[in-house]
Amino acid sequence: MDNPFQINYTDQVDSDLVKLAIGGDKKALQNLIIRHQLFIYNLALKMTKSVEDAEDLTQEVFIKAITALTKFEGKSKFRTWLYRITVNHFLNTKKSKAELKTIDFETYFNAIDNIPINELTVTEQDELTDTIEEIRISCTAGMLLCLDREQRMIYILGEMFDIDHNLGSEILGITAGNFRIRLMRARQDLYNWMNERCGLVNKSNPCRCSKKTRAYIEAGIVDPDNLIFNTRHKKKIYEISQQNAVPITDTIEDLNKNIFQLHPLQEPLTSQKIVDEIFNNNLIKLILNS
């Protein structure tokens, strides 16, 4: 799987597919979508913490990109052009329900503190392993929503997907130095709050995902039989990062990567449906048949 966020990405494949797609090759266009769908979807999922919103945003981005494809002049790499469209769309779209509910770090962590603590037995922990992981992913994904949208985007790209800073700066339309500074600030903001309140970062903090599991299940917040975030994945994000390893140290950078890069790289629930709906869009049909 080619990772468009890494410097060794094979841009020539994109260039060839774009030329064929502009010439009316539907199969080439489909391959272009499939080539980037997983990454755009996961970027959307981390931005919104909503499967439904992430699928809608993925479809909207591709429709926007395909309608502008004939205007792509090749002056920049296709991935830079595509992900600039993606980032601009994500930053300017209406807020998801999860975003509207998440006000700031203090409110978010206070809400977590209000969830009752119940110690699980060793047997219960074994039985609920996937559910505990679901809570860990969901809870830390919620922490990302406490960052403002631009901070969140830079953190997801720079920290979770380990994007090259030069590529990141091109996509966001800022300097590489500015990208690094904003990433450092987002990283520090997250770390400060997690170090103060989250047991994943600071072992002296009482909050533990396993201790909150029973209460989350009883409140109907998490359903062990219908997981949302710990499902439909073959890889963890760290497996497609440049380092391809999860570091175990106590630095701010590595602690955050150790937590957030362990999130799964999820397949869209309706992966083929997204492709089908793009091709059934009236504007796309008009472009392909012209």
Structure confidence by residue, pLDDT tens digits, 43-86? 999 999 999 999 999 999 999 999 999 889 888 899 999 999 99
C-alpha pair distances (Å), 221 with each of 49, 128, 228, 285 = 14, 15, 11, 41
Partner residues linked to 265 by β-bridges: 235
Domain membership flag for residue 72: yes
Domain membership flag for residue 174: yes
State how far the Cα of 107 lies from the Cα of 113, in Å rounded to an integer: 10
Domain membership flag for residue 143: yes
Q: Is the pLDDT of residue 248 over 50?
A: no
Q: For residue 270, which amino acid is it?
A: T
| DSSP-assigned states of every residue in 132-168 | HHHHHHHHHHHHHTTS-HHHHHHHIIIIIS---HHHH
State how far the Cα of 215 lies from the Cα of 139, in Å rounded to an integer: 14
**Mean pLDDT value across residues 210-230:** 96
Q: Which residues contact 233 (CB under 8 A, 6 or more apart)?
A: 264, 265, 266, 267
273 versus 122: which is more confidently predicted? 122
Share the mean pLDDT of the chain: 91
Residue range 118-146, pLDDT digits in tens: 999 999 999 999 999 999 999 999 999 99
C-alpha pair distances (Å), 285 with each of 26, 29, 36, 207, 219 = 10, 12, 20, 52, 46
State how far the Cα of 107 lies from the Cα of 102, in Å rounded to an integer: 8
| DSSP-assigned states of every residue in the chain | ---TTSTT--HHHHHHHHHHHHTT-HHHHHHHHHHHHHHHHHHHHHHHS-HHHHHHHHHHHHHHHHHTGGG--SSS-HHHHHHHHHHHHHHHSPPPHHHHH---HHHHHHHHHTSPP-PPPHHHHHHTHHHHHHHHHHHHHHHHTTS-HHHHHHHIIIIIS---HHHHHHHHTS-HHHHHHHHHHHHHHHHHHHHHH-TTT-TTS---HHHHHHHHHHTTS--TTS-SSS-SEEEEGGGGSSS-S---SSSHHHHHHHHHTTSEEEPPTTHHHHHHHHHHSHHHHHHHH-
Instruction: Supply the pTM of this predicted model.
Output: 0.93
Q: Read off the pLDDT band of 255 (50, 70, 90).
A: low
Domain membership flag for residue 3: no
Q: For residue 174, which amino acid is it?
A: I
**Mean pLDDT value across residues 258-266:** 91
Domain membership flag for residue 2: no
Domain membership flag for residue 1: no
Residue numbers of the domain that contains 276: 11-289
Total domains in the fold of the chain? 1
Domain membership flag for residue 6: no
Domain membership flag for residue 18: yes
Q: For residue 30, which amino acid is it?
A: Q
State how far the Cα of 40 lies from the Cα of 53, in Å rounded to an integer: 12
C-alpha pair distances (Å), 32 with each of 18, 36, 86 = 7, 7, 15
